[in-house]
Structure 1
Amino acid sequence: MKMPAKMTVLILSAGLAACSTLFPPPVNVGDPESELLTKRGQPTQRYQDGKDHLLEYALGPWGQKTFMARVGPDGKVISFEQVLTTQKFATIKVGETNKDGVLKTIGGPSETSYLPLRDLEVWSYPYKEAGVWNSIMHVHFDKAGIVRQMLNGPDMRFDPDLRFPFGMMR
């Protein structure tokens, strides 16, 4: 059975559109902000950081990547990096870094919660530890908004034994 030419073109166009969404064009240092916005679209959040500003591109609550673009006062990209990494988490200092510092370092959390017995607010960030393991980092803040603890562990949402009906029932 031969597929009509119009149908073939439609399928190929849809496939190319999907690839451009999954693999957006690279952002280069020195690109003007307008080009960054053309390549990546509107950011999920914007932060002012001195004379520079940051554009956050979070990939959703199940996403394990957040990209942060630093744009200088001249409107050009200074850096563009994936920030949900062990190295970036290590730059957050317990007892020193506040919420604003965390936002400017790794962006907004995918989920927030509260621990009433310890009186701590928790921001959670799913990520791929070492690029391999489905993990989640929990950043704990006191009432003053200072980081008091950071805990990471496996992201249980990816555990096949805990996903019903496909996993084992306990």
Structure 2
Amino acid sequence: MQWPAHALWSLLAALTALVLLAGCAAGPSSLAAGTPRKAVLAQLGTPFTATPLAGGGERLVYSTGPMGFYVYHVDLDGSGRVARTEQVMTFERLAGIPINQWTAVDVRANFGPPMRIDRVYSFDGDVWTYRFIADINLRRLAHVHIDPAGVVRRVMFTDELLSDDDRSF
């Protein structure tokens, strides 16, 4: 028996959707409070970075960067169990970077690796660029300006233009 082409495409689409949903179900946002550290590592693998928190806890940072749009903080309590999980690559979190206080180390520890590092004529230092999704699927870029001493001096935002974007500037 031969299947009609439209039935095969429908089956392929359904299987693809299942695989994508399974991937979402296994991500950091699926972790239940109280999950032990060992189970987190078994499910998600080695974090990009791990830093101590006040009270004996630990923050595990999982990044889909440098080209991804999401960074998750998995905060463990003093007993090594998940206290909370948060997706932090948001406009609010990026706009809230403390200017003249945070360093490149803080930025990397909180947001993972940048998509790219550039230099511009109007600033003496590096510009770290991060991708994120704002509002309803609007792709944005955050440009974190870090001076030669490693201190954040400004954060600017632009839209990420896609190759099929018909806006002209």
Equivalent in 38, 42, 46 of residue 49 of structure 2: 46
Contact 2:72/2:87 (8 A) holds in 1: yes
Equivalent in 153, 157, 160 of residue 155 of structure 1: 160
- SS state of the match for residue 107, structure 2? helix
Contact 1:49/1:104 (8 A) holds in 2: no
1:151 Cα deviation (Å)?
0.7
Structure 1 length as normaliser, TM-score? 0.75
1:32 aligns to 2:73 (yes or no):
no
Please name the residue that 2:8 is paired with: none
Question: How high is the sequence identity, in percent, across the aligned residues?
Answer: 24
Separation (CA, whole Å) in 2 of partners of 1:37 and 1:67: 14
* Matched length: 158
Please name the residue that 1:113 is paired with: 118
Q: What does residue range 13-162 of structure 1 map to in structure 2 within 5 Å?
A: 16-24=18-26, 26-43=30-47, 45-50=48-53, 51-115=56-120, 118-156=123-161, 158-161=162-165
Contact 2:49/2:109 (8 A) holds in 1: no
Write the deviation string for residues 48-92 of structure 1: whole angstroms up to 9, x where unpaired. Answer: 234433222211333211112122332111221111101211321
The alignment's C-alpha RMSD in Å is 3.1
Flag the 1:29–1:110 CA change in 2: closer, same or farther, 3 A.
Answer: farther
What one-letter code is carried by the residue in structure 2 that aligns with 1:36?
V
Flag the 1:21–1:35 CA change in 2: closer, same or farther, 3 A.
Answer: same
Unmatched 5+ residue regions in structure 2?
Answer: 4-11
Please name the residue that 2:7 is paired with: none
Unmatched 5+ residue regions in structure 1?
Answer: 4-10, 163-167
